[in-house]
Amino acid sequence: MDKKIILVCDSHANKTDQAKKLINFGQNLYSYLKNEIILVVFNEKNIENFSRKINFGNILNIKTKTHEFGDIISGLETVIEKTDFSYLCFDSSIKSLEQASYLAGKFNASIITNVLKIEDKNQFSRMIFNSKLEAGIKNLKEKCVLTIAGSSFDENDSIFSKNSIEEIEIPHENSDIKIIETMSRSESSSLDNAKIILSVGRGLNSSEEIEKVFEVSKLIPGSSVGCSRPIVDKGLLEYQRQVGITGRSVSPKIYSAFGISGSTQHLFGMKDCEFIISVNNDPHASIFGHSDVCIVEDAVLFLEALKNELEN
Amino acid sequence: MKILVTIKPVFEEIQMTDPDILKKNFLKNNPDLNLKINRFDDHALEEALKLKGKNTAIEIYTISVGAADSLEILKKTIGKGADKAFLIETETKNANDPDFVSDAVKDVFMENNCDLLFCGMMSEDMMNGVTGLLTASKLSIPSLSGITFIEDISSEKIIVKRELEGGTEQKAELSLPCALNFQAGINKPGYPNVMRMLKADERSIIVKSHEKPDFKNSIKIKDLKLPSKTRKGEILEGSIEDKAKAFVEILKQKKIL
Ligand SMILES: Cc1cc2nc3c(=O)[nH]c(=O)nc-3n(C[C@H](O)[C@H](O)[C@H](O)COP(=O)(O)OP(=O)(O)OC[C@H]3O[C@@H](n4cnc5c(N)ncnc54)[C@H](O)[C@@H]3O)c2cc1C
Ligand SMILES: Nc1ncnc2c1ncn2[C@@H]1O[C@H](COP(=O)(O)O)[C@@H](O)[C@H]1O
């Protein structure tokens, strides 16, 4: 049996975008492996229409009773049992990580997460050490599960003209994980309308130090104060101010980071800002690679200097 | 009830260390950098200790898969209140391969009839975010990631809260045995008790190997390099006042001021 590249699109909200991103990745992988690509989606009501929207025809639509782990997994297991795969690709959400790890364990596959680029046949790059280094990771097994973080994969023309849309139905499985309740904490925040966000991270250690950024913010109209996750964890600022993957995604004109290292989870929330200025006392801080302007200084001293300058 | 907590020894002060030094030391078997408990694991251990605080019948075992210098880290976990520790002594390339680590952890979990596996949701060096989930899959036990809170526990089940992307939280119930992968920052890990730490000996820390002749690594870590830039990253020169002036200039150019 020929091996296939299976792409799993398990999103509710941005299904089309996620599918396109996965297909781009799959097609890049195809250029190395020449394995056929199948896109797996769940409970898509109008599959013909969806296929046209993403301009891709090799789709398997799995119908499940619920969208819970147990049902999604039995759907995927059914597919994998009939389709030998070389690569099984997911996006990088926490739920995808859970599914990906489960299947890697069951099917004796290797697993490489948060893939940024394809470096070579069977070799992928990803961040390590809180994004201070990028590593090339080689897959040494016959089967490999990937989760994809990068979004800038070349768009190839659709390789598969063949249209083969299939649907299967999966009986409900009782899972030993029961989701009792899902809650949302996404109330509105002053960050949403800010023209400039001054954001503080672990480089500022106490409420006295954090007060400095509020003093500066008072002098800049249209500004608001944001922060990284550890600042919220320590109870120094409220959750509504957290920027990042488990916080808010923001897009002010200017984002200014004070004492923030530049982890992928934080960058996720601010990468689309028009202009980024970072202040960090470590010249090697990874945030500098994602900034327009870099200031190597102690954040507290710099905030004091900035306040003086604004007052003049 | 027995809780097995995975503890990955990672370099101290990763944030402040020059990437070239990290690069030189990462795959060495005797690195020159000091080790500490992976941040996420320290929070997972603290959750286990909190449960033990309420129910003294709970036993806590810790496990590291790594080089001999991990012993010092395991002593710290004994100092913090773990009853027993396991060091699966192996080369660095295995300690960073989730397939190897999950195999080794699985064996210890089964040999000791454990009820709960507590892991960090991510190692600070490799950042895979999978090792605990993969171990659970190999053990055929349920598992969730992003755990922030244990609400209730009995001998059959555990109720937890966890956090997903974009401010979504979930409350979930898992049947025991199960594996939980903890988020960081959810509690305040205590300091080890020095007397307990000094008393740690070969009865409390068991050193084993996990060499299986037919084991092949699932991944190989190849090139380590500085991450590619996504923006220009112009570095401002001059005195701190010059830089503050430049900052204000940018605000004016962008019509903020
Ligand atoms: C599933 C998951 C979700 C997450 N979600 C988020 C999220 O939504 N948002 C988020 O921010 N994080 C999130 N994180 C955490 C993330 O991985 C990082 O741990 C976090 O972003 C680091 O915050 P930081 O940059 O403030 O701290 P650190 O990484 O500790 O960096 C501190 C920085 O301050 C610098 N510094 C120190 N002292 C000074 C000084 N005096 N002056 C100037 N600079 C100084 C240091 O050089 C360093 O670069 C998540 C993690 C996981 C696993
Ligand atoms: N070598 C190891 N020894 C002990 N625990 C580990 C090891 N590698 C990973 N882990 C555990 O698995 C979690 C997730 O690691 P990772 O999958 O590398 O992000 C960590 O927080 C640790 O709890």
- Average pLDDT of the residues of chain B: 96
Domain boundaries, chain B: 2-208
Which residues face B168 on adjacent strands? A184
Nearest-angstrom CA–CA distance, A254 and B156: 52
Question: What interface predicted TM-score (ipTM) does this complex get?
Answer: 0.96
Nearest-angstrom CA–CA distance, B204 and B75: 9
Nearest-angstrom CA–CA distance, A185 and A231: 17
**Per-residue CA distances from A48 to A15, A57, B48, B178 (Å):** 14, 9, 51, 41
Q: Tell me: pLDDT of B256 over 70.
A: yes
Interface of B with A in 177-216 (CB under 8 A): 178, 184-186, 216
Fold of the B2-208 domain: Rossmann fold (3.40.50)
Q: B186–A305: do the CB atoms touch at under 8 Å?
A: no
Q: Tell me: pLDDT of B199 over 70.
A: yes
Closest atom, ligand 1, to C-alpha of A243: 9
Backbone angles phi, psi at A151, to 5 degrees: -125, 0
User: What value does the mean pLDDT take over residues A265-289?
Assistant: 95
pLDDT at A47: 92
Q: How confident is the model at residue B202 (pLDDT cuts 50, 70, 90)?
A: confident
Helix boundaries (H) for A192-298: 207-218, 229-233, 264-270
Q: Tell me: pLDDT of A157 over 80.
A: no
Between A72-81, A102-111, A113-122, A157-166, the lowest mean confidence (pLDDT) is in A157-166
pLDDT at A186: 72
User: What value does the mean pLDDT take over residues A111-122?
Assistant: 95
User: What value does the mean pLDDT take over residues A87-101?
Assistant: 96
Q: What is the interface size between A and B, counted as CB pairs within 8 Å? A: 267
Q: What whole-number percentage of chain B has pLDDT above 90?
A: 89
Between A150-154, A290-294, B105-109, the lowest mean confidence (pLDDT) is in A150-154
pLDDT at A11: 76
pLDDT at A161: 54
pLDDT at B186: 96
Please report, to the nearest 10 degrees, the dihedral formed by the alpha carbons of residues A113, B67, B15, B188 taken in order.
90
B64 lines ligand 2 (CB under 6 A): yes
Q: Could you report the per-residue pLDDT of B143-195, keeping only the tens digit for each?
A: 999 999 999 999 999 999 999 998 899 999 999 999 999 999 999 999 999 99
User: What value does the mean pLDDT take over residues A109-132?
Assistant: 95
Stretch(es) of chain A classified as CATH 3.40.50.1220:
196-311
pLDDT at B92: 93
pTM for this predicted structure: 0.95
**Per-residue CA distances from A17 to A20, A53, A54, A151 (Å):** 5, 10, 8, 10
The secondary structure of chain B in percent helix, strand, coil, rounded to multiples of 5, reads: 35, 30, 35
Residue count of chain B: 257
User: What value does the mean pLDDT take over residues A21-50?
Assistant: 93
User: Which of B46, B122, B123 to mutate to test ligand 2, by most ligand atoms within 8 A of the CB atom?
Assistant: B123
Q: Tell me: pLDDT of A280 over 90.
A: yes
Long-range CB pairs of A307-310 (<8 Å, 24+ gap) are A307/A212, A307/A215, A307/A216, A307/A219, A308/B241, A308/B244, A309/B241, A309/B244, A309/B245, A309/B247, A309/B248, A310/A216, A310/A219, A310/A220, A310/B248
Q: Could you report the per-residue pLDDT of A171-230, keeping only the tens digit for each?
A: 988 888 999 999 988 778 899 999 999 999 999 999 999 999 999 999 999 999 999 999
Which residue reads 């010092």 in tokens? B72
Q: Tell me the nearest-neighbour CA distance from A165 into chain B, angstroms.
A: 31
pLDDT at A152: 61
Which are the contacts of A66, defined by CB distance < 8 A and separation ≥ 6? A172
Q: Which residue has the higher pLDDT, A156 or A199?
A: A199
Q: Tell me: pLDDT of A58 over 80.
A: yes
Q: What whole-number percentage of chain B has pLDDT above 70?
A: 100
Between A5-14, A237-246, A303-312, the lowest mean confidence (pLDDT) is in A5-14
In this structure, how many other beta carbons lie within 10 angstroms of the beta carbon of residue A193? 10
Nearest-angstrom CA–CA distance, A8 and A17: 13
pLDDT at A293: 98
pLDDT at B27: 86
- Of the CA atoms within 13 Å of residue A59, those in its CB half-sphere come to 27
Q: Tell me the nearest-neighbour CA distance from B53 into chain A, angstroms.
A: 23
Q: Give the helix/strand (H/E) hosting B108.
A: helix B98-111
Q: Could you report the per-residue pLDDT of B41-83, keeping only the tens digit for each?
A: 999 999 999 999 999 999 999 999 999 999 999 999 999 999 9
Residue nearest to atom 8 of ligand 1 (CA): A244
**Per-residue CA distances from A204 to A213, A227, A263, A279, A280 (Å):** 10, 10, 16, 11, 10
Q: How confident is the model at residue B29 (pLDDT cuts 50, 70, 90)?
A: confident
Backbone angles phi, psi at A232, to 5 degrees: -75, -45
| Residue to substitute from A98, A198, A241, interface B, most B β-carbons within 10 A | A98
Q: Give the helix/strand (H/E) hosting A29.
A: helix A15-33
Which residues face B163 on adjacent strands? B169
User: What value does the mean pLDDT take over residues B112-119?
Assistant: 98
Contact list in B for residue A107 (CB cut-off 8 A) is none
Stretch(es) of chain A classified as CATH 3.40.50.620:
4-174
Fold of the A4-174 domain: Rossmann fold (3.40.50)
Q: What is the DSSP string of B150-163?
A: EEEE-SSEEEEEEE
Backbone angles phi, psi at B59, to 5 degrees: -110, 140
Superfamily (CATH) of domain A196-311: TPP-binding domain (3.40.50.1220)
